[in-house]
Amino acid sequence: MTVLLSALGILLCSLVSSSDVLPQAEFDLHMMAGKWHLVGFASNTEWFVSRKAGMKMGTAIFSPTLDGDLNLSHASLRSDGSCWRMTSLVKKTDVAGKFSYPTSFGDGNEMIVVDVKYERVRPGSCS
């Protein structure tokens, strides 16, 4: 069962050169499980830069694996009203809150969770 969670911000960084970006202090992978509303993305990859104007805020479902990796399903509304979806398995690194994933181009990228609010929405409340 997916638990609806509220998030103020998640930053997804996509190059190893982003080493100055630090993950959230006291990151808790298991508290990430469920549905999140994504507020912010940042990346300097050509793919993202060329498409970011058409991307709107979206949702993601995070499902931690038994070995500490993270299944990620993302959906957002395109500027033309259609829905864009992506599913990926991101691999844990030696730093909590920092994950790596390969692209179809064969290069390595990073996803860093820099700000997340773990408070759960109370049953019966609007989300």
Is pTM beyond 0.85? Reply is no
Residue 12: DSSP 8-state: -
Q: Is residue 12 part of a domain?
A: no
C-alpha span between 17 and 7 (Å, rounded): 26
What tens-digit pLDDT sequence spans the chain (127 residues)?
A: 233 332 323 333 333 344 588 898 989 999 989 998 877 777 777 777 887 776 667 888 999 999 999 999 988 887 788 888 889 899 999 999 999 987 777 677 888 888 888 775 434 333 3
Q: Which segments within the chain are labelled E, that is strand? A: 34-38, 55-64, 70-78, 83-92, 98-102, 108-112
Q: What are the two backbone dihedrals, phi and then psi, of residue 30, each rounded to the nearest 5 degrees?
A: -70, -25
Q: Is residue 80 part of a domain?
A: yes
Q: Is residue 6 part of a domain?
A: no
CATH number (domain holding residue 82): 2.40.128.20
